Amino acid sequence: MAAIEIGIAFGVRLLLVLLFLPFSALDKIINFKGAVGQAREIFSSTSLARALICVGLFVEIVMSACVLTGTADRAAAFVLAGYCGVTALLWKQFWRPGDFWASGDSKARNLFWDFWKNFALAGGFLLVVFGTRADTVRLFLADPLSSTHPYTLAQP
């Protein structure tokens, strides 16, 4: 039974980070030039765009690995939650295309759903950070680099 419980705990965390590690990170590596081009839509400087993609790669790989392994997973999940929020605000600006209320397919409505998916994912990461009870918030604030010890089983 312990193996199943640990497997489920790992599987849940894997589902949470799977978008970033390996998929988004691998896409940034394979299509680095395209990723820089997308970053240049927001930041005109190519150097800044490259630096941001490298920071994004670091966040996606290292923070995801920390969430998976339970190593400073609260801090890593906090960073990933912020990353989801920032990317939603910068690249999922559904209010910009101006076709939200148009009939048929709409770029704005597609961005709208992506925007909220980013924030929903941020909420999942914040569950790792703060837990599901109000009294666990102080645990994070007291020691933000602590681990939730996701693969430790409680003794009966």
Q: What are phi and psi of 70, to 5 degrees?
A: 85, 15
pLDDT of residue 156: 66
CA distances for 155 relative to 9, 135, 136, 148, angstroms = 16, 22, 20, 16
Distance CA 27, CA 7 (A): 27
Environment class of 74 (CB within 10 Å of its CB; exposed 0-12, middle 13-18, buried 19+): buried
Chain segment 76-106, per-residue pLDDT in tens: 999 999 999 999 999 999 999 999 898 888 9
Under-70 pLDDT residues of the chain:
156
Q: Which helix (H) or strand (E) holds 139?
A: helix 137-142
Distance CA 124, CA 14 (A): 12
pLDDT of residue 1: 79
Say what the pTM is: 0.93
Distance CA 104, CA 53 (A): 33
| Sequence ranges of the domains in the chain | 2-142
Euclidean distance between the first and the last CA atom of the chain, given in angstroms as a whole number? 13
Cis amide bond preceding 150, omega within 30 = no
